[in-house]
Structure 1
């Protein structure tokens, strides 16, 4: 296993993401690495039938920002030397596989295993599978 210096973890409030975060905390502590915490508001999840004036996105971004602050507090209490956060809206697959890891200069990406059932994975494809297939750095899938 490499001596990772820039560990990026994706969170979404799920149990799987919490497991990924715990793995990231352990490794960031072990390697004294910088921890990047990323959460993406997937705009595609908003129904086109709802009158959309930006309020839904704003509320989602506020929830995610509050959630990320809790993760940052945990990381600081665990002694992680440096924590950076990424709260963005858009396509989580693209953002987490390429854009944010490049910006953060990640050498490891940690994501939770998908919570989708078999049919959902076939139709939608999981974010974790997409990242695993396309990331240019090591990927750890937490279960």
Structure 2
């Protein structure tokens, strides 16, 4: 196996600009290795109200957003020449779901994520999701800070 040959690449997306940069780099790497690309979006349920006050419209809206986002990115990946693209919507903490649960479920050997993403409050108070992914992952992780299209 070549040092850049990955079989299963997971890219974490949240709709942010940096997640789109991560997607483009993941597509590039998946093409180099003829890898399966797993597009994942985590609905961060820690931000939802308590169970007693839980409003199903929040969950429904989050799920709809996630599915539409993943379908858009899946179409882009297929159009770019990726033969095997999977999508995954999970619920909970992205810092746990991505490096532990999803990486194990899909036998991931590379995780690609944006450096910041959408949740600036969590980044300030708790630490970034990308930091959590790097800390808890047992496979390679690429944290994307630049746009692949930038000249």
| TM-score, reference length from structure 1 | 0.91
Q: Is the 8 A contact 2:123 2:129 kept in 1?
A: no
Q: Work out whether 1:73 is the aligned partner of 2:75.
A: yes
Structure 1 gap segments, 5+ residues each: none
Aligned to 1:52: 54
Aligned to 2:87: 85
Of the candidates 139, 142, 146, which is equivalent to residue 140 of structure 1?
142
SS in 2 for 1:114: coil
**Residues 84 and 120 of structure 1, relative CA distance in 2, 3 Å threshold:** closer
Aligned to 1:23: 25
Aligned CA-pair RMSD: 1.8
How far did residue 46 of structure 1 move? Answer: 2.6
Aligned to 1:131: 133
SS in 1 for 2:6: coil
Give the Cα–Cα distance (whole angstroms) in 1 for the partners of residues 122 and 82 of structure 2.
36
Give the Cα–Cα distance (whole angstroms) in 2 for the partners of residues 73 and 2 of structure 1.
24
Aligned to 1:12: 14
Give CA deviations for 1:54-90 in whole Å, capped at 9, x if unaligned.
2211111111101100000001101101001111111
How far did residue 53 of structure 1 move? Answer: 3.0
Q: How many residue pairs get matched?
A: 141
Structure 2 gap segments, 5+ residues each: 146-151
How far did residue 120 of structure 1 move? Answer: 5.0
Give the Cα–Cα distance (whole angstroms) in 2 for the partners of residues 131 and 112 of structure 1.
11
Give the Cα–Cα distance (whole angstroms) in 2 for the partners of residues 138 and 31 of structure 1.
15
| TM-score, reference length from structure 2 | 0.86
